[in-house]
Structure 1
Amino acid sequence: MEFVRRFAPDSLKPDVFDHRPLADLESCLIEGVRAPEGSTGFPRHKHPESDQLFFILEGCMQLELDGEQHAVPAGSTVFIPAGTPHRNHYPHPGTELHLDVLLPPPARGLPLAEAADEDESGGPGTHYVLPPSDDLGIEIVPGFHVRDLAHSGTGSSYASMRLAHVDPGNDALPWHIHEFDQLYFILDGTLEVEVANHRHRATRFDLVVLPAGVPHRNWNPGPGRESHLVLLVPEPAPGVPPDLGVDFRLNGHSFG
């Protein structure tokens, strides 16, 4: 498996709305999207079985969400429950970049979306646009802050998404595993990731894919603070420790 995948906006079409899958898993579908000024996304539509999360990386998205208009700047999070009509376009100056997450992904062979009529409204949940903030969130271990962006309490029943900030030199978590898929998307700085005995240096716009049960550890080598999105699919149940420590080392034996 390719544990680190790069979102390279320059590889997408420069003059039209374009997108590319970064991770197509059983638990979620994540795409990187590039939209130049004046472009338009898909016509008004809905995702019948999938919740959708946007995180705006650069620029500004103009979003019609269930009949309401939102100008969504960089650093914002959008949650769109399954069945909620929406569309997005890009009248604002400059190029817009965002992550698009579908939870769960549509079944193989089915379309990603269905058309929604102009007068169609509603959906089985509460949509929202969360603006950017300078709040670092809660310090869960020394030098490691997280702020919740989406979780079961906000209506996201399939996953939680957080914004994490890691101080340089932080190596608070030794080898561990999760009972859920974990994905990091690097926003700023450098994150060293060791997974299944291979080391990777993840930098801005890298997506780190850590499937359930795969031993890993990560730290910020510096020199500055590192920031990344954290997606946990599914969200851990209340009271269940998310990180399970393991002793992991190669023993020198090979088979086959």
Structure 2
Amino acid sequence: MRNIIPNPEANFPETFKSLFLNGPEGGVDSCNCLVSRCPPGHKGPRLHTHVVDQFYFVLKGETTVQIGTEIFKVPPMHMVHFPAGTPHCNWNETEDYEQHFELMVPRPPSDRLIDYWEGEVPTVPDAARLIQPFREEDYTQGRLFASAHLARRETGSPHVRVYAARVPPNGPSLPLHFHDFDQFYYVFGGELTIQVGHERAVARPGDLVMLPKGTVHTNLNLGPAPEYHLAILIPEPGVGEQFDYKVQIAYSDEKPFVNEPVKA
């Protein structure tokens, strides 16, 4: 399925490296999505800025980040927000590999992916607020899945809403639907079955699901354990705007989409 970008981890070298899942010259043009790995003792690019907002979601290990003049230790299941123009960098001081998912939104020009900082480093007011911890107890149970918000307009992220989702095994699915915004799922635990139109496939940890505006889709968990993913909405719907549009398909053999196992 072309909507699922497979996990690229097998291509990591033994140095700091970022691998694109979406962008900068292909895929869905509302953002860049990457996964980065930093071996023990290695560093990312020196102090720099971006012309767009950037987010890190730490998956494994611990990263040390500098935000302005301050330095923080960031463990797994924490999201870091670097607003556009914020000087920052990261490195790994531990003996374990560190890995994180990255989001750049909106998509920056291909010739302005990074601007290195020169001169005196400024202090970023209340820099600690840019690090959002995430715990299992932060989930709020909804009708079909549990969610925990990590970034949204009201918390200083004007371009995107990001939340962590926990989908129970063998639970019900939403009807087929589409959105007026681009949606992405980054799977970090379990398996998520995706249906796009009439086609079905399974997204596994490290895979990115891309659902451009207007894509008719649904998802559910047919695995034996809960499934976990980041849901990314670009742009975040405004207050009072319709979130999704239900779609009903009449099959010639009257066989609807059912919760059946999907072959790998």
- TM, length-normalised to structure 2: 0.88
Distance change in 2, residues 1:88/1:68 (3 Å): same
Per-residue CA shift, 1:74-119, capped at 9, x if unaligned? 11100110010001011112111111110011124x2211111352
Task: Report matched runs for 1:50-199 at 5 Å.
Answer: 50-108=52-110, 110-117=111-118, 119-121=120-122, 128-142=130-144, 144-199=145-200
Question: In 2 relative to 1, CA 125–199 (structure 1 residues): closer, same or farther, beyond 3 Å?
Answer: farther
Q: Which residue of 2 aligns with 1:210?
A: 211
* Whole-Å separation in 2 of the counterparts to 1:125 and 1:208: 34
> What residue identity is the alignment partner of 1:21?
F
Report if aligned partners of 2:50, 2:112 keep a CA contact under 8 Å in 1. Answer: no
Greater mean alpha carbon deviation, residues 110-119 or residues 181-190: 110-119
Contact residue 53 and residue 104 of structure 2 kept, 8 A? yes
Structure 1 residues 66 and 250, CA gap change in structure 2 (3 angstroms): farther
Question: For 1:37, which of 40, 58, 64 is the aligned residue?
Answer: 40
Q: CA deviation digits over 1:3-35, x for unaligned, max 9?
A: 001223231112x10111101232100011111
Report the Cα distance in structure 2 between the residues aligned to 1:125 and 1:105, rounded to whole angstroms.
Answer: 26
Deviates more, 1:238-247 or 1:160-169: 238-247
Determine the C-alpha separation between the residues in 1 that align with 2:12 and 2:251.
Answer: 40
State the SS of the aligned residue for 2:136. Answer: coil
Cα distance between partner residues in 2 of 1:106 and 1:239 = 29
Residue 7 of structure 1 aligns to which amino acid in structure 2? N
Distance 2:188 2:88 in 1: 26
Give the partner amino acid of 1:229: L
Residue in structure 2 matched with residue 13 of structure 1 by the alignment: 13
CA contact (8 A) 2:162 2:232 kept: yes
Following the alignment from structure 2 to structure 1, what is the Cα–Cα distance between the partners of residues 122 and 114? Answer: 15
Residue equivalent to 2:244: 243
Q: 194-203 vs 124-133, which deviates more?
A: 124-133
Moved over 6 A (4+): 123-126
Deviations 1:122-162 (A, max 9, x none): 679976111231224222214x1110000011111110100
Does the 8 Å CA contact 2:69/2:123 hold for their aligned counterparts? Answer: no
Q: Distance in 2 between matches of 1:41 and 1:188?
A: 26
Taking only aligned residues, the RMSD between alpha carbons, in angstroms, comes to 2.1
The question of whether the paired residues in 2 share the 8 Å contact of 1:186 and 1:206 is answered with: yes
**Would you tell me which structure has more strand in proportion to its own residues?**
1
Gaps of 5+ in 1: none
Deviates more, 1:235-244 or 1:120-129: 120-129
> CA separation in 2, counterparts of 1:34 and 1:249?
46
CA deviation string 1:170-221 (max 9, x = no partner): 2231100010010001111111100122101111111111111010011011
For 2:40, what is the secondary structure of its paired residue? Answer: coil
Q: TM-score, normalised by structure 1?
A: 0.91
Alignment check: 8 A CA contact 1:84 1:122 kept: no
Q: In 2 relative to 1, CA 124–132 (structure 1 residues): closer, same or farther, beyond 3 Å?
A: closer
Q: What is the correspondence of 1:214-225 to structure 2 with a 5 Å cutoff? A: 214-225=215-226
Superposition deviation, residue 37 in structure 1: 0.5
State the secondary structure of the residue aligned to 2:154.
helix
| CA distance, structure 2, for counterparts of residue 91 and residue 124 of structure 1 | 25
Identity across the alignment (%): 31
